[in-house]
């Protein structure tokens, strides 16, 4: 934040070339977006936001040969929001979407809440009815400030035309600083049409917010705090790093890698933390939690010290809180003070972004080099004994096999988005990601329909990169209209549809907990032909496969196709995602299925009530 303010002050000293120019409010909005470096806007027009759409057209017209501000029109406003989210997640920049009032704005509630839940920086600009009509139930009026206030990091109702610039700049500042999140700006139509003088500088007075952010940005670990941390680490024999999305948000992956290399500590990640540490590393145990790897969860059971970095002990990780890491002391590093002790009591904590905190800890390590070799050997044995596995003898295509082959082809270097469901968990389990920001999924909200539009945003933010949407037949139906957006703008996203003819994850729960009563989840009667739909939308590659022998060759052709590509794989509808820790249960109750050995299978269980694993060291 301090760096951000210094940059703002430096800019302020240089007079903006358009300062003193007479503009409409809409023109000011677009100019501030340009000043903030926005190159792509996702959105759907309408009466209340029309002045700003017109301003974009005129701004681009005035650019001549210079690069335009790209405007991408989706099938729905929800799609626009997820495109902005995919753009932000994959690039680290603030994503922007622009919608009209009423239904345009209410259709944006889900992506805003999704971004808030997963700490994604986006700015939504909504049109609103003119100020004089507000509160009269005017045509396409909705109380967006009230609706969005409980969903967003911050909401502005911009009723003062003299504060347009300051409000837009402040929205970007709030979205990207501290713990990132979505900011909504509701702009009445007459404010967009009002005329004023462009200042080219200024932000709103937000003293309380800025003070809190600056305190976190300037937070330093004193010698005593560093000493306390390393006392815990030195007393440990079985340490584990539990890394979350905060590692990615704070660009701390390299700092985490240095910390891991220095102390050679195994790493588990949350769903949102995937890619924050190279999954191909020997020290990576991949994802923990409800559908985490068995060896990751067993390592949590066995560890005696957990260092939580940018993670929040959510219910999919620590479902049975009192039994989570039962033998471990806990240190917690997070940018958000409200997360410390919210779910799990900790023995040490520090409020700072992950990059700053890890860097300071490394500097204070001195010559400390504890020997954790016995623990690493134990963890390596866990990975070997309890590796991911699936039914390799089935005549039906197994989704795990498809993703294993895809992992071989992409080598951990592709951008991947997912919908929500079984395919999402299989992607998290079986795909590799060598760098941060390559994996994009709806974590906390679990929003079906996220994958396809998020992939579009990621591709536009990363031209030339390989971007794949791994989706399910239930999820992709939610925003199926965005297939046309891909071909309309010739965005070369690869859409991999794992079709199990139903809502697989819900059906899995119905199998396990509801005596196979498939209420509302059986899609075998649906008539959708996804290949014909893709062809109708202009896909040059639209292929369906149904046999395991077709998987590898089809995937190679699919990934190698130059434009947008659609591959539908008919997968086994009876498959379950394993491991699985049932809701509200602890890792001791983890179900590993028929193909992943559990500790009970080999007698490697610690159920005697003793503190820590016995006989391992």
Q: How far apart are CA 389 and CA 392, in angstroms?
A: 8
Q: Is position 556 annotated as part of the catalytic site?
A: no
Structural domain spans, the chain:
2-216, 220-385, 399-570
Among the listed residues 77, 166, 301, 400, the single catalytic one is 77
Return the percent helix, strand and coil in the chain, to nearest 5. Answer: 40, 15, 40
pLDDT value of position 603: 57
Q: How far apart are CA 430 and CA 403, in angstroms?
A: 6
pTM assigned to the model: 0.94
Instruction: Write down the residue that tokens 């992506």 correspond to.
Output: 111
Q: Is the pLDDT confidence value at 613 over 50?
A: no
Q: Is position 211 annotated as part of the catalytic site?
A: no
pLDDT digits (tens, 9 = 90+) for 374-427: 999 999 999 999 999 999 999 999 999 999 999 999 999 999 999 999 999 999
pLDDT value of position 600: 80
How many Cα atoms are found within 13 Å in the side-chain-facing hemisphere of 406? 33
pLDDT value of position 355: 96
First to last CA, the chain: 46
- The string of DSSP codes covering 76-115 is SHHHHHHHHHHHHHHHSSPEEEEE-STHHHHTTHHHHHHH
Q: What CATH number does domain 220-385 carry, 3.40.50.1220, 3.30.750.24, 3.40.50.11540, 1.10.630.10?
A: 3.40.50.1220
Q: What's the pLDDT band for 610 if we cut at 50, 70, 90?
A: very low
pLDDT value of position 65: 82
Q: What residues contact residue 341 under an 8 Å CB cut-off, 6+ apart?
A: 332, 349
Quote the strand ranges of 423-564, DSSP E: 439-440, 467-472, 494-499, 541-545
By CB neighbour count within 10 A (0-12 exposed, 13-18 middle, 19+ buried), where does 518 fall? middle
pLDDT value of position 335: 96
Question: What CA–CA distances, in Å, run from 307 to 37, 383, 447?
Answer: 36, 20, 29
Q: What's the pLDDT band for 9 if we cut at 50, 70, 90?
A: low
Question: What CA–CA distances, in Å, run from 95 to 181, 453, 457, 564?
Answer: 11, 13, 9, 22
- Look up the CATH superfamily of 399-570: Thiamin diphosphate (ThDP)-binding fold, Pyr/PP domains (3.40.50.970)
Q: Is the pLDDT confidence value at 131 over 50?
A: yes
Q: How far apart are CA 286 and CA 296, in angstroms?
A: 7
Q: Is the pLDDT confidence value at 258 over 60?
A: yes
Domain with residues 2-216, CATH architecture: 3-Layer(aba) Sandwich (3.40)
Report the percentage of the chain scoring pLDDT > 90. Answer: 90
Q: Is position 535 annotated as part of the catalytic site?
A: no
Cα angle, residue 489 at apex, residues 483 and 492 outer, rounded to 5°: 70
pLDDT value of position 237: 97
Cα angle, residue 348 at apex, residues 241 and 281 outer, rounded to 5°: 10
Q: Where are the alpha helices (DSSP H) in 250-345?
A: 253-263, 294-302
pLDDT value of position 616: 30
Classified as helix, coil or strand, 32 is: helix
Q: Is the pLDDT confidence value at 77 over 70?
A: yes
pLDDT digits (tens, 9 = 90+) for 285-339: 999 999 999 999 999 999 999 999 999 999 999 989 999 999 999 999 999 999 9
Structure token digits, residue 437: 């920001």
Q: Is position 505 annotated as part of the catalytic site?
A: yes
Among the listed residues 68, 69, 134, 140, the single catalytic one is 140
Q: Is the pLDDT confidence value at 609 over 50?
A: no
pLDDT value of position 602: 63
Q: What residues contact residue 275 under an 8 Å CB cut-off, 6+ apart?
A: 248, 253, 433, 434, 435, 436, 437, 438, 439
pLDDT value of position 615: 35
Q: Is the pLDDT confidence value at 176 over 50?
A: yes
Instruction: Write down the residue that tokens 């986006």 correspond to.
Output: 122
Q: What's the pLDDT band for 119 if we cut at 50, 70, 90?
A: very high
pLDDT digits (tens, 9 = 90+) for 338-368: 999 999 999 999 999 999 999 999 999 999 9
pLDDT value of position 611: 35
pLDDT digits (tens, 9 = 90+) for 550-596: 999 999 999 999 999 999 999 999 999 999 999 889 999 999 999 99
Read off the pLDDT of each residue in 199-209 and give the average, rounded to a whole number: 96
Q: Is position 77 annotated as part of the catalytic site?
A: yes
Among the listed residues 505, 523, 558, 566, the single catalytic one is 505
Q: Where are the alpha helices (DSSP H) in 96-196?
A: 103-106, 109-117, 144-149, 164-176, 189-193
Q: What's the pLDDT band for 448 if we cut at 50, 70, 90?
A: very high
Q: What's the pLDDT band for 432 if we cut at 50, 70, 90?
A: very high
Residue 487 belongs to what H/E stretch? helix 482-488
Among the listed residues 139, 215, 413, 617, the single catalytic one is 139
pLDDT value of position 182: 98
pLDDT value of position 210: 95
């Amino acid at each position: 934040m301090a760096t951000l303010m210094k940059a703002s002050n430096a800019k302020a000293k240089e007079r903006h070339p358009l300062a003193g120019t007479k503009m409409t409010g809409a023109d000011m909005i677009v100019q501030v977006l340009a000043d903030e470096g926005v190159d792509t806007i996702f959105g759907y027009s309408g009466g209340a936001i029309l002045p700003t759409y017109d301003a974009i057209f005129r701004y681009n017209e005035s650019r001549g040969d210079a690069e335009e501000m790209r405007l991408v029109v989706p099938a729905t406003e929800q799609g626009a929001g997820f495109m902005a989210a995919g753009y932000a997640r994959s690039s680290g920049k603030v994503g922007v979407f622009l919608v009209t009032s009423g239904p345009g704005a209410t259709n944006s509630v889900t992506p805003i809440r999704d971004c808030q839940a997963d700490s994604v920086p986006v700015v939504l600009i909504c049109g609103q009815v003119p100020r004089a009509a507000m509160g009269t139930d005017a045509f396409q009026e909705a109380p967006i400030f009230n609706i969005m206030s409980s969903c967003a990091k911050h909401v502005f109702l911009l009723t003062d035309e003299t504060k347009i610039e300051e409000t837009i700049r402040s929205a970007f500042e709030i979205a990207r600083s501290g713990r990132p999140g979505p900011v909504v700006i509701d702009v009445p139509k007459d404010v967009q049409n009002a005329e004023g003088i462009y200042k080219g500088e200024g932000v709103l007075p937000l003293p309380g917010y800025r003070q809190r952010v600056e305190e976190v940005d300037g937070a330093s670990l004193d010698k005593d705090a560093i000493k306390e941390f390393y006392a815990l680490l030195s007393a440990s024999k079985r340490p584990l790093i539990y890394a979350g999305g905060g590692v990615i948000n704070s660009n701390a992956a390299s700092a985490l890698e240095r910390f891991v290399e220095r102390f050679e500590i195994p790493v588990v990640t949350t769903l949102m933390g995937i890619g924050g540490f190279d999954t191909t590393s020997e020290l990576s145990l991949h994802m923990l939690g409800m559908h985490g790897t068995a060896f990751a969860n067993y390592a949590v059971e066995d560890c005696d010290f957990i260092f939580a970095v940018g993670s929040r002990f959510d219910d999919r990780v620590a479902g049975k809180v009192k039994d989570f890491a039962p033998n471990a002391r806990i240190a917690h590093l997070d940018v958000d003070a409200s997360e410390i002790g919210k779910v799990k009591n900790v023995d040490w904590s520090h409020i700072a972004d992950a990059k700053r905190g890890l860097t300071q800890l490394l500097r204070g390590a001195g010559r400390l080099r504890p020997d954790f070799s016995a623990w690493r050997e134990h963890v390596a044995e866990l990975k070997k004994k309890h590796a991911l596995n699936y039914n390799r003898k089935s005549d039906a295509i197994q989704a795990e096999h498809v993703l294993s082959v895809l992992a071989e082809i992409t080598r951990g270097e592709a951008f991947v988005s997912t919908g929500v469901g079984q395919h999402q968990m299989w992607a998290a389990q079986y795909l590799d990601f060598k760098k941060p920001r390559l994996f994009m999924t709806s974590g906390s909200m679990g929003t079906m329909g996220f994958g396809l539009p998020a992939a579009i945003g990621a591709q536009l933010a990363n031209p030339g990169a390989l971007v794949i949407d791994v989706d399910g037949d239930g999820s992709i139906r939610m925003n199926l209209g965005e297939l046309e957006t891909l071909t309309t703008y010739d965005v070369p996203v690869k859409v991999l549809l794992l079709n199990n003819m139903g809502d697989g994850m819900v059906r899995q729960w119905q199998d396990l907990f509801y005596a196979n009563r498939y209420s509302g989840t059986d899609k075998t009667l649906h008539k959708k032909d996804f290949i014909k739909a893709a062809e109708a939308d202009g896909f040059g590659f639209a292929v369906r496969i149904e046999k395991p022998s077709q998987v590898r060759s089809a995937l190679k052709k699919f990934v190698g196709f130059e434009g947008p590509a659609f591959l539908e794989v008919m997968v086994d509808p009876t498959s379950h995602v394993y491991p699985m820790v049932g809701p509200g249960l602890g890792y001791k109750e983890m179900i590993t299925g028929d193909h992943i050995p559990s500790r009970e299978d080999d007698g490697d269980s610690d159920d005697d009530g003793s503190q820590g694993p016995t006989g391992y060291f």
